[in-house]
Structure 1
Amino acid sequence: MERPLCSHLCSCLAMLALLSPLSLAQYDSWPHYPEYFQQPAPEYHQPQAPANVAKIQLRLAGQKRKHSEGRVEVYYDGQWGTVCDDDFSIHAAHVVCRELGYVEAKSWTASSSYGKGEGPIWLDNLHCTGNEATLAACTSNGWGVTDCKHTEDVGVVCSDKRIPGFKFDNSLINQIENLNIQVEDIRIRAILSTYRKRTPVMEGYVEVKEGKTWKQICDKHWTAKNSRVVCGMFGFPGERTYNTKVYKMFASRRKQRYWPFSMDCTGTEAHISSCKLGPQVSLDPMKNVTCENGLPAVVSCVPGQVFSPDGPSRFRKAYKPEQPLVRLRGGAYIGEGRVEVLKNGEWGTVCDDKWDLVSASVVCRELGFGSAKEAVTGSRLGQGIGPIHLNEIQCTGNEKSIIDCKFNAESQGCNHEEDAGVRCNTPAMGLQKKLRLNGGRNPYEGRVEVLVERNGSLVWGMVCGQNWGIVEAMVVCRQLGLGFASNAFQETWYWHGDVNSNKVVMSGVKCSGTELSLAHCRHDGEDVACPQGGVQYGAGVACSETAPDLVLNAEMVQQTTYLEDRPMFLLQCAMEENCLSASAAQTDPTTGYRRLLRFSSQIHNNGQSDFRPKNGRHAWIWHDCHRHYHSMEVFTHYDLLNLNGTKVAEGHKASFCLEDTECEGDIQKNYECANFGDQGITMGCWDMYRHDIDCQWVDITDVPPGDYLFQVVPSAKRRKKSLSTSAGS
Structure 2
Amino acid sequence: MWSLPASFLLLLLLLLLGQAPPSRPQSLGTMKLRLVGPGSKPEEGRLEVLHQGQWGTVCDDDFALQEATVACRQLGFEAALTWAHSAKYGPGEGPIWLDNVRCAGTESSLDQCGSNGWGVSDCSHSEDVGVVCQPQRQRGYLSERVSNALGPQGRRLEEVRLKPILASAKRRSPVTEGAVEVKYEGHWRQVCDQGWTRNNSRVVCGMLGFPSEAPVDSHYYRKVWNSKMEDPKSRLKSLTKKNSFWIHRVNCLGTEPHMANCQVQVAPAQGKLRPACPGGMHTVVSCVAGPRFRPPKAKPGHKESRAEQEMKVRLRSGAQVGEGRVEVLMNRQWGTVCDHGWNLISASVVCRQLGFGSAREALFGAQLGQALGPIHLSEVRCRGYEQTLSECPSLEGSQNGCQHENDAAVRCNIPNMGFQNQVRLAGGRSPEEGVVEVQVEVNGVQRWGAVCSDHWGLNEAMVACRQLGLGFANHAIKDTWYWQGTPGAGEVVMSGVRCSGTEMALQQCQRHGPVHCSHGTGRFSAGVSCTDSAPDLVMNAQLVQETAYLEDRPLSQLYCAHEENCLSQSADHMNWPYGHRRLLRFSSQIHNLGRADFRPKTGRHSWIWHQCHRPRL
Q: TM-score range by the shorter chain?
A: 0.5 to 0.7
Structure 2 residue 162 is matched with structure 1 residue 188:
yes
1:85 Cα deviation from its structure 2 partner: 3.0
The change in CA–CA distance for 1:533 and 1:602 in structure 2 (over 3 A counts) is closer
Secondary structure, in 3 states, of the residue corresponding to 1:429? coil
Q: Equivalent residues in 2 for 1:161-240 (5 A)?
A: 161-162=137-138, 182-240=156-214
Structure 2 residue 531 is matched with structure 1 residue 545:
yes
Structure 2 residue 591 is matched with structure 1 residue 703:
no
Aligned equivalents of 2:398 and 2:274: distance in 1? 58
The change in CA–CA distance for 1:378 and 1:471 in structure 2 (over 3 A counts) is same
State which of 258, 262, 268 in structure 1 corresponds to 2:244: 258
Structure 2 residue 453 is matched with structure 1 residue 465:
yes
The change in CA–CA distance for 1:476 and 1:283 in structure 2 (over 3 A counts) is closer
1:55 Cα deviation from its structure 2 partner: 7.5
Q: Equivalent residues in 2 for 1:654-665 (5 A)?
A: none
Aligned equivalents of 2:478 and 2:563: distance in 1? 23
Aligned equivalents of 1:144 and 1:701: distance in 2? 63
CA offsets per residue over residues 451-490 of structure 1, 9 Å max, x none? 3333333334444433333222222222222221233344
Q: Give the AA of the match of 1:129.
A: R
1:598 Cα deviation from its structure 2 partner: 7.4
1:595 Cα deviation from its structure 2 partner: 8.9
1:401 Cα deviation from its structure 2 partner: 0.5
Contact 1:357 1:373 in 2 (8 A): yes
Aligned equivalents of 1:144 and 1:229: distance in 2? 41
Contact 1:447 1:538 in 2 (8 A): no
The change in CA–CA distance for 1:375 and 1:543 in structure 2 (over 3 A counts) is farther
Structure 2 residue 59 is matched with structure 1 residue 85:
no
Equivalence for 1:358: 345
CA offsets per residue over residues 587-634 of structure 1, 9 Å max, x none? 99x9699999975445669879xx8999xxxxxxxxxxxxxxxxx972
The change in CA–CA distance for 1:178 and 1:702 in structure 2 (over 3 A counts) is closer
The change in CA–CA distance for 1:468 and 1:266 in structure 2 (over 3 A counts) is same
1:346 Cα deviation from its structure 2 partner: 3.0
Aligned equivalents of 1:567 and 1:499: distance in 2? 66
Equivalence for 2:302: 318
Equivalence for 2:5: none
Q: Equivalent residues in 2 for 1:380-459 (5 A)?
A: 380-412=367-399, 413-459=401-447
Aligned equivalents of 1:387 and 1:241: distance in 2? 42
Equivalence for 1:663: none
Aligned equivalents of 1:191 and 1:700: distance in 2? 64
Equivalence for 1:345: 332
Aligned equivalents of 1:342 and 1:281: distance in 2? 48
Contact 1:270 1:371 in 2 (8 A): yes
State which of 634, 656, 670 in structure 1 corresponds to 2:603: 634
Equivalence for 2:4: none
Aligned equivalents of 1:162 and 1:502: distance in 2? 33
Aligned equivalents of 1:179 and 1:88: distance in 2? 34
**Unaligned runs of at least 5 residues, structure 2:** 1-23, 35-40, 84-95, 121-130, 141-149
Task: Say how many residue pairs are matched.
Answer: 527
Aligned equivalents of 1:305 and 1:244: distance in 2? 26
Secondary structure, in 3 states, of the residue corresponding to 2:210? coil
Secondary structure, in 3 states, of the residue corresponding to 1:200? coil
Equivalence for 2:360: 373
Structure 2 residue 520 is matched with structure 1 residue 534:
yes
1:537 Cα deviation from its structure 2 partner: 8.0
CA offsets per residue over residues 181-235 of structure 1, 9 Å max, x none? 5234433322333222322222223223333432222233543333222221221
Contact 1:359 1:397 in 2 (8 A): yes
Equivalence for 1:509: 497
Equivalence for 2:276: 290
1:423 Cα deviation from its structure 2 partner: 1.4
State which of 30, 33, 45 in structure 2 corresponds to 1:58: 30
Aligned equivalents of 1:396 and 1:551: distance in 2? 36
The change in CA–CA distance for 1:371 and 1:491 in structure 2 (over 3 A counts) is same
Contact 1:482 1:543 in 2 (8 A): no
CA offsets per residue over residues 368-397 of structure 1, 9 Å max, x none? 011112223333333333333222211111
Structure with larger Rg: 2
The change in CA–CA distance for 1:544 and 1:567 in structure 2 (over 3 A counts) is farther
Aligned equivalents of 1:208 and 1:105: distance in 2? 29
**Unaligned runs of at least 5 residues, structure 1:** 1-51, 75-80, 108-122, 146-155, 165-175, 615-631, 637-651, 654-694, 705-729
The change in CA–CA distance for 1:389 and 1:144 in structure 2 (over 3 A counts) is closer
Contact 2:363 2:409 in 1 (8 A): yes
Report the TM-score, using the length of structure 1 for normalisation: 0.58
Report the TM-score, using the length of structure 2 for normalisation: 0.68
1:365 Cα deviation from its structure 2 partner: 0.5
Equivalence for 2:470: 482
Aligned equivalents of 1:489 and 1:599: distance in 2? 35
User: Structure 1 stretch 592-601 or stretch 502-511: which is displaced more?
Assistant: 592-601
Contact 2:336 2:376 in 1 (8 A): yes
Q: Give the AA of the match of 1:365.
A: R
Contact 2:25 2:115 in 1 (8 A): no
The change in CA–CA distance for 1:559 and 1:181 in structure 2 (over 3 A counts) is farther
Aligned equivalents of 1:465 and 1:581: distance in 2? 37
1:357 Cα deviation from its structure 2 partner: 1.7
1:269 Cα deviation from its structure 2 partner: 2.5
Whichever structure has more helix as a proportion of its residues is 2
Equivalence for 2:513: 525
User: Structure 1 stretch 536-545 or stretch 595-604: which is displaced more?
Assistant: 595-604
The change in CA–CA distance for 1:508 and 1:308 in structure 2 (over 3 A counts) is same
Aligned equivalents of 1:363 and 1:548: distance in 2? 24
Secondary structure, in 3 states, of the residue corresponding to 1:85? strand
State which of 318, 324, 330 in structure 2 corresponds to 1:331: 318
Equivalence for 2:102: 129
Equivalence for 2:9: none
Q: Give the AA of the match of 1:328.
A: L
Aligned equivalents of 2:345 and 2:453: distance in 1? 44
Structure 2 residue 287 is matched with structure 1 residue 301:
yes
Contact 2:535 2:598 in 1 (8 A): no
Aligned equivalents of 1:450 and 1:703: distance in 2? 38
Contact 2:245 2:277 in 1 (8 A): no
The change in CA–CA distance for 1:392 and 1:559 in structure 2 (over 3 A counts) is farther
Q: Give the AA of the match of 2:219.
A: K
Aligned equivalents of 2:269 and 2:285: distance in 1? 24
Aligned equivalents of 2:330 and 2:463: distance in 1? 30
Contact 1:102 1:162 in 2 (8 A): yes
Q: What is the percentage of aligned positions where both structures have the same residue? A: 40
CA offsets per residue over residues 677-709 of structure 1, 9 Å max, x none? xxxxxxxxxxxxxxxxxx3546534322xxxxx
Contact 1:58 1:100 in 2 (8 A): no
Secondary structure, in 3 states, of the residue corresponding to 1:427? coil
Q: Give the AA of the match of 2:613.
A: I
Contact 1:361 1:424 in 2 (8 A): yes
Aligned equivalents of 1:540 and 1:360: distance in 2? 37
Task: State the structure with bigger RCO (CA 8 A, min sep 6), 1 or 2.
Answer: 1
Contact 1:383 1:553 in 2 (8 A): no
Equivalence for 1:243: 217
Q: CA-atom RMSD, angstroms?
A: 5.2
